């Protein structure tokens, strides 16, 4: 085997299982899509500006050097030029601000949500309450990940399924339904974030925040706490199962039955 292969395998032993993902997901909700589209727009604009500026620098570095005998010019100011390169960037920014403002207004509009799920952040797990149906449960990192992640566990984490992104009780939500997510916390500030669902809000003790999702595609979506909340901040994941409306109501029914059975 070639030395380079061996070297690569030694340095990057995770290559077999891991991905080389470089971009954010476009996601499955109107809010995630609008965030992604805005992200790409600004990215492309900055790439173009970067190419223009760095090409000018590169040209200058190559041709305007003493070793080529280039004599230094004497110019050192120009009000006209200063105005141009103030006004043009300003216009570009206005061009960015318009879609950004539209997107933001849409993302912050939680009106007319069909169901409300209240999320409470704890050190170090989540509690979910479905307000309309009076269903409530805790959601913790699943046992396999929790054991594997300990210092000195001697478990190969690459063999753990959805390592650090799996829970014991997942959130179940119906697709094609505007869901309002209420956020609060029990102790310190946490943040609830599932990248593919778009939006992120802090969960603050004593206060409620809200965001909304409308999941267009059924599937399983994984996220994590996104605000430092103490030692196990990295170990309180989020799992959302998005299912059809009938399946969702079936699941709610089962939760309610279990709750009655528990309270007997």
Partner 1 sequence: MSTNIDKLHDDHHHTPSGIMRWITTTNHKDIGSMYLWFSLIMFFVGGLMALVIRAELFQPGLQLVVPGFFNQMTTMHALVMIFGAVMPAFVGLANWQLPIMIGAPDMALPRLNNWSFWILPFAFTMMLSTLFFGSGGPAAGWTLYPPLSLQGGDSFPFTILSIHMLGLSSILGAINVIATILNMRAPGMTLMKMPIFVWTWLITAFLLIASMPVLAGAVTMLLTDKFFGTMFFTASGGGDPVMFQHIFWFFGHPEVYILILPAFGIVSTIIPAFSRKRLFGYDSMVYATASIALLSFIVWAHHMFTVGMPLAGEIFFMFTTMLIAIPTGVKVFNWVATMWKGSMTFETPMLFALAFIVLFTIGGFSGLMLAMVPADFQYHDTYFVVAHFHYVLVPGAVFAIMAAVYYWLPKWTGKMYNEGLGKLHFWLTTIFVNLTFFPMHFVGLAGMPRRIPDYAVQFADFNAIASVGAFGFGLSQLLFVYILFNTLKKDVTAEDKVWEGAEGLEWTLPSPPPYHSFEEAPKVD
Partner 2 sequence: MSNFKKTYFSLIFFTIFMFSFSYMLVPLYDIFCEITGLNGKTNQTKVIAVNENPVERFVTVKFTSTVANSAPFTFEPIDREMIVQVGKINNTFYTLTNNTKTIKHATASPSVVPHEDAEYFKKIECFCFSQQQINGLETKELPLQFIIDNELPNDTRTLILSYTMFNTTDQLGSN
Which residues, 101 to 130, sit near partner 2 by CB under 8 A?
A: 110-113, 116, 118, 120, 122, 129
d(CA 240, CA 223): 8
Query: Is residue 137 within 8 Å of 255, Cβ to Cβ?
Result: yes
Nearer to partner 1, 50 or 253 (CB): 50
For 48, residues 6+ apart whose C-beta sits below 8 A from its C-beta are: none
Per-residue binding string, partner 1, 211-250, x by CB under 8 A, is -----------xxxxxxxxxxxxxx---------------
182 in contact with partner 2 (CB under 8 A): yes
Nearer to partner 1, 58 or 254 (CB): 58
Nearer to partner 1, 35 or 173 (CB): 35
State which of positions 17-56 bind partner 1 (CB under 8 A). 17-25, 31-32, 34-36, 38-39, 42-43, 46, 49-50, 53-54, 56
Residues near partner 1 (CB under 8 A), total? 107
191 in contact with partner 1 (CB under 8 A): yes
d(CA 73, CA 17): 57
The region, left, alpha or beta by phi > 0 then psi within -120 to 50, assigned to residue 59 is alpha
12 in contact with partner 1 (CB under 8 A): yes
Nearer to partner 2, 160 or 191 (CB): 191
Per-residue binding string, partner 1, 79-98, x by CB under 8 A, is --xx--xx--xx--x--xx-
CB of 131 to partner 2, least distance (A): 6
State which of positions 200-239 bind partner 2 (CB under 8 A). 205-210
H or E stretch including 236? none
260 in contact with partner 2 (CB under 8 A): no
255 in contact with partner 2 (CB under 8 A): no
Query: Is residue 198 within 8 Å of 33, Cβ to Cβ?
Result: yes
d(CA 90, CA 94): 6
31 in contact with partner 2 (CB under 8 A): no
Tokens encoding 101: 């403002």
Q: Give the DSSP letter string of 161-176.
A: TTTTS-BSS-EEEETT
Helix (H, G, I), strand (E, B) or coil at 248: helix
d(CA 15, CA 8): 9
132 in contact with partner 2 (CB under 8 A): yes
Query: Is residue 123 within 8 Å of 188, Cβ to Cβ?
Result: yes
Question: Which residues are at the interface with partner 2 (CB under 8 A)?
Answer: 110-113, 116, 118, 120, 122, 129, 131-132, 134, 182, 184, 186-187, 205-210
């Amino acid at each position: 085997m070639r030395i380079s292969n061996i070297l690569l395998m030694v340095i990057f032993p995770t290559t077999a299982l891991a991905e080389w993902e470089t971009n954010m997901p476009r996601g499955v909700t109107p809010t995630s899509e609008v965030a992604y589209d805005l992200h790409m727009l600004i990215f492309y604009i900055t790439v173009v500006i970067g190419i223009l500026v760095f090409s000018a620098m590169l040209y200058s570095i190559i041709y305007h050097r003493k070793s080529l005998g280039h004599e230094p010019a004497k110019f050192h100011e120009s009000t006209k030029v200063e105005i141009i390169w103030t006004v043009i960037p300003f216009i570009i920014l206005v061009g960015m601000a318009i879609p950004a403002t539209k997107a933001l207004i849409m993302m912050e509009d939680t009106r007319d949500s069909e169901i409300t799920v209240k999320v409470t952040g704890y050190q170090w797990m989540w509690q979910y309450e479905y307000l309309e149906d009076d269903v409530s449960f805790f959601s913790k990192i699943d046992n396999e990940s929790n054991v594997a992640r300990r210092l000195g566990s001697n478990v190969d984490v690459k063999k753990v399924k959805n390592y650090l992104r799996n829970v014991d009780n997942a959130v179940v939500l119906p697709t094609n339904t505007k869901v309002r997510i209420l956020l609060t916390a029990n102790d310190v500030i946490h943040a609830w974030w599932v990248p593919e669902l778009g939006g992120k809000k802090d969960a603050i003790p004593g206060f409620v925040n809200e965001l909304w999702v409308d999941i267009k595609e059924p599937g399983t979506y994984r996220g994590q706490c996104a605000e430092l909340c103490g030692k196990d901040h990295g170990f309180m994941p989020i799992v959302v199962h998005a299912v059809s409306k009938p399946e969702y109501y079936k699941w709610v029914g089962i939760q309610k039955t279990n709750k009655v059975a528990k309270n007997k």
